[in-house]
Amino acid sequence: MPSESSSVVEQSFPIEGATEAAPFAPATGFDDSVMLRAEDLRKEYRSGSQPLVLFDGLNLTVHRGEMVAIVGESGSGKSTLLHLMAALDRPTAGDVYCASTWLGKLTATQAAAFRNREIGYVWQLHYLLPEFTALENAAMPLLARDEPRSTAFAKARELLREVGLEARTHHLAGELSGGEQQRVSLARALVTQPRLLLADEPTGNLDNHTAEAVFGLLERLHTMHRLTSILVTHNMEIAAHCGRTLRLHEGRLHEVRLQAGRSEDTSRQMATASSEAPGHPIVRTAFPGGNTAGTA
Amino acid sequence: MRFELFIASRYLRAKRRQAVVGVITAISIVGVAAGVASLIVALAITNGMRRDLQQRLLGSTAHISLMRVAGDGIEHWQALTDRLRHLPHVTAAAPALYGQVLISRGARSGGALVKGILPQQERTVSTLLNSVKEGSAAALAPSPSSGAPSPNAATPPLVIGSDLAQQIGASIGDTVLVTSPQGELTPFGLVPKYQRFQVTGIFHSGFYDYDSSYALARLTDVQHLFGEPNLVSVISFKVDDLYHADRIGREIERAAGKGFMTTNWMEQNRELFRALRLEQVVTFIVIGLIVCVAALNILIALTMMVMEKTRDIAVLMSYGVRPAQVRRIFLWQGMLISILGTTIGLALGYGLSWAGGHYRFIHLSAQVYSLDYLPFAPRWQDGVIVALVSLGVSLLATLYPSSSAAKILPAEALRYE
């Protein structure tokens, strides 16, 4: 699917709106083809006197242009993992790097600017602001960086055209159907031309037909905008269409091989070291030396 | 800033998920408007009363009075008065001789301050002669035939205050005995000087001090009474800028030469105006509490709105809205409520004050207040101060909810959605 990914040119991540310089990943061992890297992640919540550990020692590497699906049981920590990748939350331990940016060291303001520039986030529920029209909702990330209204609306209108909602630009969020709302939310996520798309069960709240349509759109936009996409989903059909599928189970990521509605858990823990994994550099899994199952 | 204002103004206009937030927002706007309008009206009334009092006071009192430091009276006062009258900022000057006397009619008597005046000149510095309600002050004028009143006239004319007249039971045409404590030395010892006067006019200035203890007579008659034929005790001045009376007074002192001093209307009535100022400040604070209550409503409305919008705030943050921007959204929200309420309040307050001043629909007892209507004198400066206070108090009320909105953690807020 993401065959053009290898042509993505490496860029630094200037964080506008931040007063301090953004922290960068250590230069040693930095791989240009890596879009996202999580190292030894641990996330725990305090629940009474006992800490609830979602994951511990979790590692993940996603290369530029990849479309990765993360599956797993409810409560396994998939959404939390996505929050950590978007700098919406902080890990208890471990580090997350997005290209050269070290997310753990970002201040709240830097993290906001980072999300505005680099991340497109789609939620299971559309989370459109009900007081605003589809056009205003889609333009919101650009308006937040004080881009002129005319420019922001022009870009938002273009995105709404891409998701097929040209005729619905001036409708309030409540006046749109569930599928339309999710398409507006997709337009909002992509209006800033991010490089990383994070989608948390984007079709989870839609009927099968609409879910297929929305995922089809997502796939098309992934290719068109040369995105790196990570999808959290319960839908194995959708996961099977992604370049790679990972299963979050008992705090560890396992690569899963999916074929036409049938899945086969490789039962190999991602963190097992192997640096000789063959395959295309873009699709080679990046768990330090992970395997390539299901990626080609 | 445009983004924050865009969101805040839309939030203000939008239909609420929780109707109570909309109701409290409306109450906040009405509360601010009521507080601001009340303040404007109250300040307009205190200003009106103050202005009226000042006008009447300045009508009865000279702006500046020149006198001898030693209190020995001013000689050659005609030449001095003519010279000082032409000083810059001086618009009028008039000599006068004051003296404490006892005025009696039959068995009833009262202490008074008799003021010897030249009526034509006195009218240029004081309107006291214009407030004669019974009889007339015309008799104080020099007779046209002789050019000057005769000091030997048997019963020279006297104009007295209404309360003094009531105290001694005098009315127009009555003869009263004016006794000066500056007596004459006789073989029998010091004998007080006295002179009979005829009451030709009774004035009512509206000031108890004047009405109860002032008497006006011709200058020559008073000079004769006190045995000081060529002296006056004070030269009174009107000036073109009464708020610079102290500075002009110093210039008059310099021009008059050594041994002279001046006092002005502000010094003479300092305590009265200080009391009025205090009353205005207390009024401002008490009525300003309405604005504080309204600001409390803003705090409640915003706090509830932040709770209602927690999810939206988290979503905004998820696509890069900075905490400072979230803070400003709710600051703007509160300020928009305040600006709206303050604008309505200012319009209402100035409208009511104008109507009150124009139509005089609040009546007063003229006997008690010397005015038969409530005066309104709205000032634009008061509007500026009231608006700034209203906005400032509202800004304080927005600090807590806006900073709590900025502290929302998006992942936490959305975890249980």
The full DSSP string for B113-173 is EEEEE-HHHHHHH--GGGGEEEE-SGGGSPPTTTSS--TT-SS-EEEEEHHHHHHHT--TT
pLDDT band at A276 (very low <50, low <70, confident <90, very high): very low
pLDDT in the model for residue A249 = 86
The model's pLDDT over B242-278, given as tens digits with 9 standing for 90+, comes to 888 889 999 999 998 889 999 998 888 888 888 888 8
% of chain B beyond a pLDDT of 90: 44
A121 in B contact zone (CB under 8 Å): yes
Q: Above 50 in pLDDT, residue B130?
A: yes
Q: Above 60 in pLDDT, residue A177?
A: yes
Contact B66, B235 (CB under 8 A): yes
Average pLDDT, chain A: 76
pLDDT band at A29 (very low <50, low <70, confident <90, very high): low
Q: Which residues of B87-122 are buried (b: 16+ CB within 10 A; e: fewer)?
A: bebbebbbbbbbbebbbbbeeeebebebbbbbbebb
Contact A252, A237 (CB under 8 A): no
Is A89 within 8 Å of B411 when comparing Cβ atoms? yes
CA nearest B11 in A: which residue? A131
pLDDT in the model for residue A2 = 37
The region of weakest confidence among A4-8, A131-135, B195-199 is A4-8
Strand partners, B261: B67
Average pLDDT, chain B: 87
Torsion angle of the four alpha carbons A158, A161, A165, A170, in this order, in degrees rounded to the nearest 10: 40
Shortest Cα–Cα distance, A247 to chain B (Å): 20
Backbone φ, ψ for residue A49 (5° rounding): -90, -20
Shortest Cα–Cα distance, A27 to chain B (Å): 27
CA nearest B324 in A: which residue? A109
B319 in A contact zone (CB under 8 Å): yes
pLDDT in the model for residue B416 = 64
Backbone φ, ψ for residue B378 (5° rounding): -70, 140
Task: Please identify which residue in the block is written with the tokens 């959290």.
Answer: A232
Nearest to A115 among B13, B320, B324 (CB): B320
Q: Above 60 in pLDDT, residue A117?
A: yes
pLDDT in the model for residue B17 = 64
pLDDT in the model for residue B115 = 92
Selected residue of B2, B13, B318, B403 to mutate for chain A interface (largest A Cβ count, 10 A): B318
Instruction: Give contacts of B410 with chain A, Cβ < 8 Å.
Output: 83, 88-89
B242 in A contact zone (CB under 8 Å): no
Question: How much is the pTM?
Answer: 0.71
Task: Please identify which residue in the block is written with the tokens 């511990």.
Answer: A56
Strand partners, B234: B96
Strand partners, B176: B197
CA nearest B407 in A: which residue? A108
Q: Above 70 in pLDDT, residue B145?
A: no
The region of weakest confidence among B27-36, B150-159, B207-216 is B150-159
pLDDT in the model for residue A8 = 30
pLDDT in the model for residue A213 = 81
Axis-axis angle for helices A134-144, A178-190 (nearest 10)? 20
The model's pLDDT over B170-185, given as tens digits with 9 standing for 90+, comes to 999 999 999 988 777 7
B311 in A contact zone (CB under 8 Å): yes
The two structure tokens encoding residue B161? 């205050």
Shortest Cα–Cα distance, A125 to chain B (Å): 9
Is B320 within 8 Å of A116 when comparing Cβ atoms? yes
Q: Above 90 in pLDDT, residue B395?
A: yes
Is B11 within 8 Å of A146 when comparing Cβ atoms? no
Cβ-in-10-Å burial (0-12, 13-18, 19+) of B188 comes to exposed
pLDDT band at A30 (very low <50, low <70, confident <90, very high): low
B318 in A contact zone (CB under 8 Å): yes
Compute the average pLDDT of residues B138-143: 76
Compute the average pLDDT of residues A255-280: 45
Shortest Cα–Cα distance, B378 to chain A (Å): 41
Domain ranges of chain A: 5-269
Q: Which of the listed CATH numbers 3.30.499.10, 3.40.50.300, 3.30.565.10, 3.30.70.640 matches domain A5-269?
A: 3.40.50.300
